[in-house]
């Protein structure tokens, strides 16, 4: 069976990944880190995070391999959500594999100590070779052909509801705040990506209380088509008041085998009103088989795929297609607008 799966996987690798007139998104498996590659119809690219620091070179090599298959020769915008090793760790090696033109972040790190300071210093050394953009709520990243709005950055969030949002959120009544988080997670640069009628949200590792500020007492964002699970599907995040208010049709969980994909977070996602499917980058050993997504919707089932991804293609009318690099599983979600 494993040989058959590898044959299918290799055949999928050999097919062209690019399409014209669509927004393309690749959720690259970095074993519980984040690396999400956006390709605008204009050809400009945005990469959100660079995967883990160790083992050295693994995640940047995976990112570069997917970029090559997609015909990407440089990263126009690298957005670093925050300075933890599973998000910024691969930046130095990636910069040796692909040119990076612009660097977007929330500003100085809020964490001290040798590890935190080392990660931030290594990133700044690379950042200083390009153009630096300091992200602030309500800023837009100037990528031709797609709209990228900054929702959160440096512990701050958009102050007013977006157009069409702002309705009272009944889920706030049964969602309680938790202990304040002073780590880099709460500083995450969160973005809303819009392509015509298609909407997707990526909040990095934003934690519970900061998520609540976006959702309570009123939903400041509105609904989305695709929700990238916050914080890899950890229960420190994925606050029900926000996830349920967003009403995503599809959730993509960028978990690892033993990192993320936790019971409380997955229950929140699966119970969100209007959810149609959950796709996972890894089978999660933190929950039962039944609590995982169906196997066809999981990219890395047993850890044997060194470079794998979930691909999304969106049209301006709101229709989008999601596919699994492991088995070619593809599903199209018609526009609901």
3-class DSSP state of 250: strand
- 37-74 confidence digits (pLDDT tens): 999 999 999 999 999 999 999 999 999 999 999 999 99
Report pLDDT for 17. 46
The residues, ordered by sequence, that sit 6+ positions from 2 with a Cβ below 8 Å of its Cβ are 302, 304
Residue 287 tokens, joined: 């929950």
Complete DSSP assignment for 57-111: THHHHHHHHHHHHTT---EEEEE----SHHHHTTHHHHHHHS-EEEEEE-SS-S-
Average pLDDT, the chain: 94
Residue 141 tokens, joined: 């990243």
The residues, ordered by sequence, that sit 6+ positions from 326 with a Cβ below 8 Å of its Cβ are 5, 8, 9, 12, 298, 299, 300, 301, 305, 308
How many Cα atoms sit within 13 Å of 327 on the Cβ side? 16
The residues, ordered by sequence, that sit 6+ positions from 133 with a Cβ below 8 Å of its Cβ are 77, 102, 103, 104, 105, 141
**Residue in 85, 89, 203 with CA at minimum distance from that of residue 151:** 203
- 226-271 confidence digits (pLDDT tens): 999 999 999 999 999 999 999 999 999 999 999 999 999 999 999 9
The residues, ordered by sequence, that sit 6+ positions from 170 with a Cβ below 8 Å of its Cβ are none
**Residue in 57, 104, 60, 58 with CA at minimum distance from that of residue 82:** 104
Q: State yes or no: pLDDT of 133 exceeds 80.
A: yes
- 284-316 confidence digits (pLDDT tens): 999 999 999 999 999 999 887 889 999 999 999
**Residue in 52, 24, 50, 51 with CA at minimum distance from that of residue 39:** 24
Report pLDDT for 172. 95
Gap between the Cα atoms of 111 and 123, Å rounded: 14
Report pLDDT for 20. 63
Average of per-residue pLDDT across 128-134: 97
Report pLDDT for 6. 43
- 184-230 confidence digits (pLDDT tens): 999 999 999 999 999 999 999 999 999 999 999 999 999 999 999 99
Please state whether the predicted TM-score (pTM) of the whole model is above 0.85.
yes
Residue 53 CA: distances (Å) to CA of 28, 85, 93: 15, 5, 9
Average of per-residue pLDDT across 80-104: 98
What is the bridge-based pairing of β-strands 147-153 and 140-141?
antiparallel
Q: State yes or no: pLDDT of 18 exceeds 60.
A: no
Q: State yes or no: pLDDT of 24 exceeds 50.
A: yes
Q: State yes or no: pLDDT of 328 exceeds 60.
A: yes
Domains and CATH numbers, the chain: 19-328 (3.60.15.10)
The residues, ordered by sequence, that sit 6+ positions from 35 with a Cβ below 8 Å of its Cβ are 28, 47, 48, 49, 50, 51, 59, 62, 63, 90
Q: State yes or no: pLDDT of 3 exceeds 70.
A: no
Report pLDDT for 43. 96
Report pLDDT for 2. 43
Share above pLDDT 70 across residues of the chain, in percent, rounded to a whole number: 94
Average of per-residue pLDDT across 161-175: 94
**Residue in 316, 323, 322, 332 with CA at minimum distance from that of residue 147:** 316
């Amino acid at each position: 069976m494993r040989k058959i799966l590898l044959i299918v996987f290799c055949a999928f690798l050999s097919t062209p990944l690019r399409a014209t007139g669509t927004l393309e998104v690749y959720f690259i498996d970095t074993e519980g880190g984040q690396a999400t590659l956006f390709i605008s119809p204009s050809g400009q690219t945005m990469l959100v995070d660079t995967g883990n620091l160790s083992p050295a070179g693994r995640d940047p090599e995976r990112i570069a391999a997917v970029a090559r298959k997609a015909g990407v020769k440089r990263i126009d915008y690298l957005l670093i959500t925050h300075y933890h090793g599973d998000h910024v760790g691969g930046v130095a090696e990636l910069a040796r594999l692909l040119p990076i033109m612009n660097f977007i972040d929330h500003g100085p790190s809020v964490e001290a100590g040798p590890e935190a300071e080392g990660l931030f210093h290594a990133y700044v050394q690379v950042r200083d070779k390009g153009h630096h953009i300091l992200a602030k709520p309500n800023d837009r990243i100037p990528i031709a052909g797609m709209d990228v709005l900054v929702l959160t950055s440096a512990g701050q969030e958009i102050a007013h509801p977006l157009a069409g949002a702002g309705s009272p959120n009944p889920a706030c009544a049964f969602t309680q705040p938790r202990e304040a988080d002073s780590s880099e997670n709460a500083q995450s640069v969160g973005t809303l990506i819009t392509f015509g009628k298609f909407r997707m949200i990526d909040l990095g590792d934003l934690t519970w209380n900061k998520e609540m500020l976006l959702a309570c007492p009123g939903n400041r964002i509105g609904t989305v088509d695709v929700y990238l699970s916050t914080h890899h599907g950890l229960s420190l995040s994925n606050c029900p008041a926000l996830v349920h208010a967003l009403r995503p049709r599809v959730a993509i969980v960028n978990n690892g085998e033993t990192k993320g994909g936790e019971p409380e977070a997955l229950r929140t996602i699966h119970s969100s009103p209007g959810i149609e499917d959950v796709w996972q980058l890894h089978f999660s050993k933190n929950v039962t088989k039944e609590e995982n997504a169906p196997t066809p919707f999981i990219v890395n089932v047993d850890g044997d795929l060194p470079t794998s991804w979930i691909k999304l293609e969106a049209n301006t009318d709101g229709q989008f297609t999601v596919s699994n690099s492991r088995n070619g599983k593809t599903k199209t979600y018609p526009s609901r607008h």
